[in-house]
Amino acid sequence: MAPSQDQAHDQGPSYDVLSSLPQRFFSAVDRKDLDALIALFAPDATLTVQTDHVTLRGAAAIRDMFARFMDSSVSMSHEVTGVVVDAKSRRVATEQRYSGTLADGTTNDMCNCNFFDVGPDGRFTRVVIWMGGGSPLK
């Protein structure tokens, strides 16, 4: 028997939706589209930059951090090289290469991993970022 519309909604986003979220996230960062980026987060989401041992709470704090990062970046590019999706628990893990130049001339080329927890509405409730090297997210 097929699930009812309510049951299907309770299950949350599909595998395809979950697997597309990281690319939407990184594309928004690379375009410096702060509004599109923050729209991916639940209002009470957390974002942890594990490399820096920093956890931001709430979309406003996350927005402020990304605004600073975008303002300090001359160029940046993220290439997702691997994605793992657990649709049942609404979790996505990515491996990606980040290349960028900061306004102070610092260049970065690093391999990073992100872990995304996704709410039933398809927005991030928790994001954890692990970076190979020093963090440009200040």
Tokens of 26: 């990184």
Q: Is residue 137 part of a domain?
A: no
CA distance 132 to 31: 22
CA distance 38 to 106: 26
Provide the residue range defining the domain that includes 80.
Answer: 5-131
Say whether pLDDT at 90 is over 70. Answer: yes
CA distance 134 to 13: 34
Q: Is residue 122 part of a domain?
A: yes
Q: Is residue 119 part of a domain?
A: yes
pLDDT of residue 62: 98
Q: What percent of the chain has pLDDT over 90?
A: 83
Q: Is residue 76 part of a domain?
A: yes
Q: Is residue 83 part of a domain?
A: yes
CA distance 74 to 128: 24
Helix (H) or strand (E) holding 76: strand 73-86
Residue 50's domain is classified under what CATH number?
3.10.450.50
Q: Is residue 64 part of a domain?
A: yes
Tokens of 128: 């954890």
Q: Is residue 136 part of a domain?
A: no
Give me the residue label for tokens 């990062």. 69
Quick one: pLDDT band at residue 12, thresholds 50, 70, 90? confident
Q: Is residue 138 part of a domain?
A: no
Say whether pLDDT at 1 is over 80. Answer: no
Say whether pLDDT at 38 is over 50. Answer: yes
Report the predicted TM-score, pTM, of the whole model to 2 decimal places. Answer: 0.86
Q: How many domains does the chain have?
A: 1
Question: In whole numbers, what is the pLDDT of the chain averaged over residues?
Answer: 90
Report the pLDDT averaged over residues 68-94.
96
